[in-house]
Structure formats: C-alpha cells, structure tokens
Amino acid sequence: MLKRRLVGVITVKKGWAVQSFGFVRHLPLGRPEVIAQNLDRWGADEILVLCIDRTLADAGPDIDLVRRIGRMGLSTPVTYGGGLRSVDDGMAVIQAGAERVCIDAMLWREPMVVRALSARIGAQALIGALPVSRSGQTIAAYDYLSRTERPITTQTRALFAQQVISEALIIDWQHEGHARGFDTDLVRRWPLPGVPLIAFGGISEPEQLEELFCMEGVVAAGVGNFLAYREHAIQNLKERVRVPSVRPAEYECKP
C-alpha cells in the first residue's frame, strides 16, 4: 500500500511566505526557503510552494525562488505552482529544481498547453489545483482571479480523467487557514472517481488527517498555516495520526 503523504504548503505573496485565510487575508511569515528547509528537517513528505500573486500579475513563475530552494539541497520533493503560462515556464520550473509543477488558472484557460506540458515533463510531474466549494449537491470551482465561482468545465474534467495530470489538489478555499475547517464533503462529492486527491485548506488536526486518509481517493493532505505555530508541527501530527500508511515521525539527531 502506498503511503499517505503529509504535504507542507508554503503560500508565497510578493516573495514572502504568508499565512493565508480564505484567499483574502494574509499575514507575513518569513523567507520561503527557510520554511522549506525547516519542513525538510521535520520530515514533511512533500513541500508545495504556491506563489499566489504571480498569475494575477502575469509575472511568470518565480524561478529565482525555486533555485534558492533547490540550492538548499533538500531531500524532500518540492512542487511549485504559481504564474505558469506556457510549456517553457513549466520546463524552467523543473530545470530550476522542482520535482513537480502545480497549475491552476491554466487548467481552464489553456487546456491544450496543459496537454503539451504533460507530454514534455510527464503526467506524474503535473498537479492540478482547484479551489472548490460546495454548491448544492455538487462542487463548484473558484476562480480567484475574478473572484467568481463556476462549474468544473468539461475540458478540465478531461485533463484529470485522461490522466494528463496525475493528482488533483482540491482546496477548500472558504475554510483555508481556519482550524478544523476542511469540509470533507468536498472529497465525497468530487466528481471524478479514480483521480488521486490532495486535500488542502483548513486541515489542522490529526483527527482530520485520519478521516481524510481513510477516504477513497485521498493520497495526501496539505497543511499550511498550522505548521507555523509550534515546534515539530509535522512530527506532532504524524505521531497523533493513527493510520499505518503514514511515514513515521523523525527527529534530527546530531552526533
């Protein structure tokens, strides 16, 4: 059985790691590369760096940031998202040191570019991020650029269903940053069975992780703000999640 992954999420705005609350309110945290180094030492299974202002500013991916993180020689796989516009942007992110690329606006803006990028770097290196909320019996995608909700389009669904993208990052954007906030109904109502899911947004407690890791399709859970409040936050979560498929907590021990 494959291990369930605990993903440390670093949200970046104007080059600074920030806490994010419901996609609207942000508090500064520090240097993204220092936080990445810390998550690596704590034993996160994956690090996801999301630059949330690059697409809106049409600034392209923050290659310098990916390089700075890459130079730290981390052993944890790093996924980068934010500002990607083209296949070349995706290639540049990989060449700068990220293992995987996370795309969001491109999913519904330019599905053909997504297919071309997948052909170049492989579907296993591509994650699709979808901020979602409940909408009646289904779920709606949130376009953070226009701040409007819309159904998940047929083209976007096809990208996941045809395995152009390996995993879907479903973000409970309304409860992002709020303790115990994640709405597990978003997983239950996810319309594409068989697509591996990374749940993120308002996941703070081991009980939430346990529930999510036992749900069909969930392969990973992302935690962001809540990793900044305590020492050894990753290890503390792992020690309290009573699911055997989680890689055990480890504490660095210097000779």
Interface residue list for another protein (CB under 8 A): 13-14, 16-19, 25-31, 34-35, 38, 41-42, 228-232, 235, 251-254
Euclidean distance between CA atoms 173 and 145, whole angstroms:
13
C-alpha gyration radius of the chain: 17
**Would you say 58 or 231 has its CB closer to another protein?**
231
The CB density around residue 92, as the number of other CB atoms within 10 Å, is 18
| Shortest reach from residue 181's CB to another protein, in Å | 14
Amino acid residing at 175: H
d(CA 206, CA 204): 7
Measured from the CB atom, is 74 or 127 closer to another protein? 74
CB 123, min distance to another protein, A: 34
Residue 31 or 157: which CB sits closer to another protein? 31
Contact 70, 98 (CB under 8 A): yes
Residue nearer to another protein on the CB measure, 40 or 211: 40
CA distances (Å), 227 to each of 39, 117, 202, 233, in order?
Answer: 9, 32, 12, 5
Residue type for position 172: D
Q: Tell me phi and psi for residue 91, to 5 degrees.
A: -65, -40
CB of 215 to another protein, least distance (A): 28
Helix-helix angle 206-213:233-240, to 10 degrees: 60
Euclidean distance between CA atoms 231 and 105, whole angstroms: 34
Q: Which is nearer to another protein, 57 or 229 (CB)?
A: 229
Q: Name the minimum Å distance from CB 16 to another protein.
A: 4
Asked if residues 238 and 248 have their Cβ atoms less than 8 Å apart, the reply is yes
C-beta separation of 41 from 252 below 8 A: yes
**Least distance between another protein and beta carbon 186 (Å):** 25
| Min dist. Cβ of residue 13 to another protein (A) | 7
Q: Which of residues 11 and 208 has its CB atom nearest to another protein in the complex?
A: 11
Dig out the tokens for 173 from the structure: 């954007």
Nearest distance from C-beta of residue 30 to another protein, angstroms:
4
Nearer to another protein (CB atom), residue 28 or residue 151: 28
Residues 142 and 126: their CA atoms lie apart, in Å, by 20
